[in-house]
């Protein structure tokens, strides 16, 4: 690793959900990070709540990369095994949607995976390094079940395999992530229903025998069936990141039972706990209640970008929505409202305007009224403190204030400091926060395009004057091929985009 790697000079602390404390982050292998984040269940369009969690982890991914870590970021697609009510009984969410829409389950998976990718792209979120699917890892899931059975932590019952939580808890602690203990869980759970195959209510399915009407099924040594929801993440995280890896993330609501079960499966299969740092992103709420598909208390990214909904007065650009989300720390609840978004929009424009102003600043002999070096480190300190993006944004606004005082000629900046200030703002605003300049994307790109076409029109005119018709025709024809039509008129040549 290059001697200049930033992580060597910055001490990053991460709030580890399992210890309940901020801990100094040390990766297993110096310079490298393995990070797994639970991805979406692709049975409907993602809502803004889901997006918040993925944007939170995009911020984390971006900052780790910014610190010069080599990050392998694995985020799965759940396309089988996730049953209604997150339980061990009921219909598969994907299969149910397929039945209702009279489509193949894989058509449902394809449609909503595509939607998810398009939405993440609009939010300028980086794709993960690997995006594995549950259905693509059935063989590995069967293999790990065999290992868990061999190690004595699972049992077969009528063609289904269940994880034996009580047995596991004799040697390990089931509940350590969510701060529970098995005795309390036993005291607080209802009796098993008569038709249940489980020995105890806390046991969870590793493999479920499929009912005759269950269409998403695969052969296994035990039955034609499907894997339990928690298993895919254990399999895909350990396959791509190793039996023990650095960071595992997801929404707060996945802590129990999903992540608790992942820990149990990992320990039962591999004899060691799978994850060093557990990270949980907090919820986006609407009118104080968790945004959730099952209650219908949602707003979709499309409704937000188009303004086509009953909650908002107007449409909002994805960059502004992203900025709104990053103004809250990822571990705090964020309530969605029109007023909050409008406030973010103002702040966002103020920031972008200052970035524009900064470009036209003429440096002076020395810097007055601001310590650029110290400010830069404060920006790092904010992010080093468990990715505190709201504090970082406050620091960026300190720079905005400074830039505006330079413009008003109340302060000055040296050439060296100006370079450092510009570089730092750009790194944090665009690389780390992942904001884009929404004004630039539309009008500036338009300006750049017409400037480029005007240049080609002039070159074509010169070629015609020189009787080089081969070149002039080539310019016209090639532009037409890409949908730009030149029109020669009395006033000169103009163009239209088809």
Q: Where along the sequence are the contacts to ligand AMP (CB under 6 A)?
A: 38, 40-41, 49-50, 52-53, 250-251, 253-254, 283-284, 290-292
Residue 258 CB, nearest approach to Zn ion (Å):
6
Residue 38 CB, nearest approach to Zn ion (Å):
3
Of 12, 14, 35, 38, the residue at the interface with Zn ion (CB under 5 A) is 38
Say which entry of ligand AMP, Zn ion, none residue 290 contacts (CB below 5 to 8 A, set by partner kind).
Answer: ligand AMP
CB nearer to Zn ion: pick between 12 and 233: 233
CB nearer to ligand AMP: pick between 84 and 431: 84
Say which entry of Zn ion, ligand AMP, none residue 284 contacts (CB below 5 to 8 A, set by partner kind).
Answer: ligand AMP
The dihedrals phi and psi of 437, each to the nearest 5 degrees, come to -80, 100
Residue 385 CB, nearest approach to Zn ion (Å):
27
Find out whether the peptide bond into 398 is cis, omega within 30 degrees of 0.
no
Say which entry of Zn ion, ligand AMP, none residue 198 contacts (CB below 5 to 8 A, set by partner kind).
Answer: none
CB nearer to ligand AMP: pick between 127 and 221: 127
Say which entry of Zn ion, ligand AMP, none residue 233 contacts (CB below 5 to 8 A, set by partner kind).
Answer: Zn ion
- Residue 235's nearest CA partner among 151, 141, 142 is 141
Residue 139, CA distances (Å) to 145, 161, 167, 269 in order: 10, 15, 26, 15
Site string (355-394) toward Zn ion, x via CB under 5 A: ----------------------------------------
In the complex, which residue's CB is closest to ligand AMP? 251
CB nearer to ligand AMP: pick between 81 and 155: 81
Say which entry of ligand AMP, Zn ion, none residue 50 contacts (CB below 5 to 8 A, set by partner kind).
Answer: ligand AMP
The reply to whether 80 sits near Zn ion by the rule CB under 5 A is: no
CB nearer to ligand AMP: pick between 83 and 283: 283
Residue 47 CB, nearest approach to ligand AMP (Å):
7
Q: Are 163 and 265 in contact (CB under 8 A)?
A: yes
CB nearer to ligand AMP: pick between 283 and 396: 283
CB nearer to ligand AMP: pick between 41 and 169: 41
CB nearer to ligand AMP: pick between 253 and 378: 253
3-state secondary structure the chain: CCCCCHHHCCCCEEEECCCCEEEECCCCECCEEEEEECCCECCCCCCHHHHHHHHHHHHHHHHHHHCCCEEEEEECEECCCCEHHHCCCCCEHHHHHHHHHCCCHHHHHHHHHHHHHHHHHHCCCCCCCECCECHHHHHHHHHHHHHHHHCCCEEEECCEEEECHHHHHHHCCCCCCCCCCHHHHHHHCCCCCCCCCCCCCCCEEEEEECCCCCCCCECCCCCCEEECHHHHHHHHHHHHHCCCEEEEEEEHHHHHHHHHHHHHHHHHHHCCCCEEEEEEECCEEECCEECECCCCECCCHHHHHHCCCCCCCCCCCHHHHHHHHHCCCCCCCEEECHHHHHHHHHHHHHHHHHHHHHHCCCCECCCCCCCHHHHHHHHHHHHHECCCHHHHHHHHHHHHHHHHHHHCCCCCCEHHHHHHHHHHHHHHHHHHCCCCCHHHHHHHHHHHHHHHHHHHHHHHHHHHHCCCHHHHHHHHHHHHHCCEEEEEECCEEEEEEC
Say which entry of ligand AMP, Zn ion, none residue 59 contacts (CB below 5 to 8 A, set by partner kind).
Answer: none
Say which entry of Zn ion, ligand AMP, none residue 40 contacts (CB below 5 to 8 A, set by partner kind).
Answer: ligand AMP
Residue 190 CB, nearest approach to ligand AMP (Å):
25
CB nearer to ligand AMP: pick between 70 and 117: 117
Say which entry of ligand AMP, Zn ion, none residue 34 contacts (CB below 5 to 8 A, set by partner kind).
Answer: none
The dihedrals phi and psi of 210, each to the nearest 5 degrees, come to -80, 135
Residue 53 CB, nearest approach to Zn ion (Å):
12
The reply to whether 233 sits near Zn ion by the rule CB under 5 A is: yes
Residue 44 CB, nearest approach to ligand AMP (Å):
8
Residue 283 CB, nearest approach to ligand AMP (Å):
4
Residue 167 CB, nearest approach to Zn ion (Å):
23
Cβ neighbours of residue 239 under 8 Å, at least 6 residues apart?
A: 132, 137, 140
Distance CA 249, CA 387 (A): 14
CB nearer to ligand AMP: pick between 38 and 144: 38
Say which entry of ligand AMP, Zn ion, none residue 41 contacts (CB below 5 to 8 A, set by partner kind).
Answer: ligand AMP
Q: Are 451 and 445 in contact (CB under 8 A)?
A: no
CB nearer to ligand AMP: pick between 54 and 316: 54
Say which entry of Zn ion, ligand AMP, none residue 253 contacts (CB below 5 to 8 A, set by partner kind).
Answer: ligand AMP
CB nearer to ligand AMP: pick between 78 and 472: 78
Residue 409 CB, nearest approach to Zn ion (Å):
55
Say which entry of ligand AMP, Zn ion, none residue 275 contacts (CB below 5 to 8 A, set by partner kind).
Answer: none
* Residue at token pair 């310079």: 31
Q: Which residues bind Zn ion (CB under 5 A)?
A: 38, 233
């Amino acid at each position: 690793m290059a001697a200049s790697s930033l992580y060597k000079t910055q001490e990053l602390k991460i709030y580890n959900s399992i210890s309940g404390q901020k801990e100094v982050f040390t990766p297993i292998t110096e310079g490298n990070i393995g990070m797994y984040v639970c991805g979406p269940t692709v049975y409907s369009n993602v809502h803004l709540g889901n997006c918040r969690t993925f944007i939170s982890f995009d911020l984390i991914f971006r900052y780790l990369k910014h610190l010069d870590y080599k990050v392998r970021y694995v985020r799965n697609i759940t396309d089988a095994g996730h049953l209604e009510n997150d339980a061990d009984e009921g219909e598969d969410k994907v299969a149910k949607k397929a039945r209702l829409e009279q489509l193949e389950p894989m058509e449902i998976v394809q449609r909503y995976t595509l939607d998810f990718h398009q939405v993440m792209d609009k939010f300028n979120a980086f794709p993960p390094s690997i995006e594995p699917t549950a259905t693509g890892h059935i063989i590995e899931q069967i293999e790990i079940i065999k290992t868990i059975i061999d190690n004595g932590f699972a049992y077969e019952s009528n063609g289904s395999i269940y994880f034996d939580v009580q047995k596991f808890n004799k040697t390990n602690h089931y509940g350590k992530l969510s701060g529970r203990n098995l005795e309390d869980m036993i005291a607080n759970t209802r009796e098993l229903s008569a038709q249940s195959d489980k020995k105890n209510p806390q046991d969870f399915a590793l493999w479920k025998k499929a009912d005759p009407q269950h269409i998403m099924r695969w052969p296994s040594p035990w039955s034609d069936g499907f894997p339990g929801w928690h298993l895919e993440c254990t399999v895909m995280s350990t396959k791509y990141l190793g039996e023990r890896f650095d960071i595992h993330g997801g929404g707060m609501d996945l802590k129990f039972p999903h992540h608790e079960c992942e820990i149990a499966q990992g320990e039962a299969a591999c004899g060691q706990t799978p994850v060093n740092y557990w990270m949980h992103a907090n919820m986006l709420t609407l009118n104080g209640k968790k945004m959730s598909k099952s209650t219908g208390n949602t707003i979709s990214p499309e409704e937000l970008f188009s303004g086509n909904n009953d909650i908002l007065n107007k449409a909002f650009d994805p960059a502004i929505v992203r900025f709104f989300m990053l103004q809250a720390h990822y571990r705090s609840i964020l309530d969605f409202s029109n007023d909050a978004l409008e406030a973010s929009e103002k702040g966002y424009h103020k920031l972008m305007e200052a970035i524009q102003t900064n470009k036209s600043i003429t440096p002076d002999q020395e810097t007055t009224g601001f310590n650029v070096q110290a400010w830069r480190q404060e920006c790092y300190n904010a992010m080093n403190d468990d990715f505190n993006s709201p504090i970082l944004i406050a620091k960026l606004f300190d720079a905005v204030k400074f830039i505006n005082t330079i413009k008003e000629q109340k302060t000055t900046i040296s050439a060296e400091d100006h370079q450092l200030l510009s570089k730092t703002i750009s790194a944090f605003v665009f690389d780390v926060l992942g904001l884009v300049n929404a004004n630039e994307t539309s009008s500036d790109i338009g300006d750049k395009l017409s400037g480029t076409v005007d240049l080609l029109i002039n070159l074509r005119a010169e070629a015609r004057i020189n009787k080089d018709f081969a070149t002039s025709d080539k310019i016209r024809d090639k532009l037409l091929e890409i949908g730009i039509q030149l029109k020669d008129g009395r006033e000169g040549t103009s163009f239209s985009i088809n």
